[in-house]
Every structure is written in C-alpha cells, then in structure tokens.
Amino acid sequence: MSNALIFAAGLGTRLRPLTDTMPKAMVPVAGRPLLQILIERLVAAGITDIVVNVHHFAQQIIDFLTTSDFARSLSGVHIQVSDESDLLLETGGGLKRAAGLFADKSPILVHNVDILSDLDLRSFYTSVVQRQGSPTTLIVSQRNTQRYLLADSDSRLVGWTNIATGEVKSPYPDLDVESCTKVAFSGIHVFNPSLLPYMEQWEGRFSLIDFYLSICDRQPIYLQQQPDLHLIDVGKLDTLAVAEQFLQNQN
C-alpha cells in the first residue's frame, strides 16, 4: 500500500469562527490537528506516499508538513502538497491535479481531512486492490441525509438523487430509482488512476461525484458498505466534542 490523497483544501465555513484564522485541516481535536490525526492513521496503514491539497490558509498547512515537530518525526514517508491557492478545484479538479504528483500508478486512497472513522484502512485498500481490475470503490453507509448515491443489485453506482427535491442524476435514462439502494458517501474511497483518461475533458473545478456519475455506465464504480462502521464528519463546531470523545474511545 503506497498512495494516499488527503482533501484538505476546503474553506471549512461550517467551522467558523475557528476557520477564520486557520484551515480546517489544522483545527485541533483532542490536542492534535485533524491533518495530523489522519496522517498518523495513513502511516499506520502502510502508506508511504501522501499528497495533501491546500487552498484556505495554505501556508499554515505547508509549514506544518515541513517544519513542525510532527513532520520531523515522520520517517520513510514522502509528503507532497498540491497547491490550489490560485483556484479551489473541488474534489474532482483537486484529484486530477494531485494525481500527477504520485511516483507510480497504484490505486490512490482518497480521504477527506475532516472525516474520523474506525475503518480499517489497510484492509479496505487491500480488498480493493485484490479485486480484478482494482475497481474504484467508495465507502458508503445507510445514514440519513437528503442526497444519496444509488446502487444496483451488484453494489455498482448507477445514479444520485436528492430526495428533498426529487432531482436525479444518472447516465441511465430509464433508471428506476425506487429499485436502487440509497446510500450516503463517507468521504473515503479508493481511486484507480486508470480512470484519469476519462477526466481529460474535465477542466478547472468539478465534483468527483459528478465525474463518477458521468462514467459509471462505462466503468464500474462500486459502493461498499462497512458493517458497524463508526464515522464522524467534523464539519461543525458542535461535532468537535463528539469527535474528541470518539478519539478517546479509540485509544
């Protein structure tokens, strides 16, 4: 296991006023920045090559990754920055730019910096790589939300829906939404670089989910549910205490 991309470029507007002076990735939980918590998990899972994309207060993240005591404590791990200071590229554009920084074309474990979970990252990555073709695979759950990914009976992505508005996105014009399984994306997935040629026509900022929806009728995108997965989206101030308790329970 070698490659991982951390999405850390977001504005973190829901964490204001903390993110008025720091990037979301540097918001501390139980005394450690979210970025450090995730890097430690990735290193423990066997990651040796990590790319972090940056935009909001980018220099704070760059300094942390280059001059902090934590950075100096890392051994045998290569960390690079994909700088989006000029334009926030969203998830799709961010991955497209960052992918070229990896030394090899191994599948990339992609992880939002503000997601905490007890997912066994090593086991998840290995299980994807060992499948024929190492298909791009998203970790999903049955949590309640308004926006759902739609899976067919083989757990393949076939569409997306907003149940509040009734909007549906799918390359399948006759998709029966009610026959699909509705699942919520976790912010953790394995991306196979073999999909990059399909991104050539996509420019600037774009959503990775929109990209997946545009090709899921031509390339398999799998939606994998993890039984008993505990996951916290540290996106709001009121989730910080919950996140701290979660980390304490993990130790």
Residue 95 has pLDDT above 90, yes or no: yes
Is residue 52 over pLDDT 90?
A: yes
pLDDT of residue 117: 94
Tell me the whole-structure pTM to 2 decimals: 0.94
Question: Cα separation of 56 and 38, whole Å?
Answer: 18
**Three-state DSSP state, 139:** strand
* Band of pLDDT at residue 2, cut at 50, 70 and 90: confident
Q: Is the pLDDT of residue 235 over 80?
A: no
- For residues 73 and 39, the answer to whether their CB atoms sit within 8 Å is no
In this model, does residue 75 exceed pLDDT 80?
yes
Residue with the two structure tokens 């308790």: 245
Question: What integer pLDDT is reported at residue 251 of this predicted model?
Answer: 64
CA nearest to 237, candidates 7, 8, 24, 21: 24
Distance CA 185, CA 117 (A): 13
- Run of H or E residues at 40: helix 34-44
Q: What is the pLDDT of residue 1?
A: 57
Give the pLDDT confidence of 221-233 residue by residue, as tens digits: 999 998 788 988 8
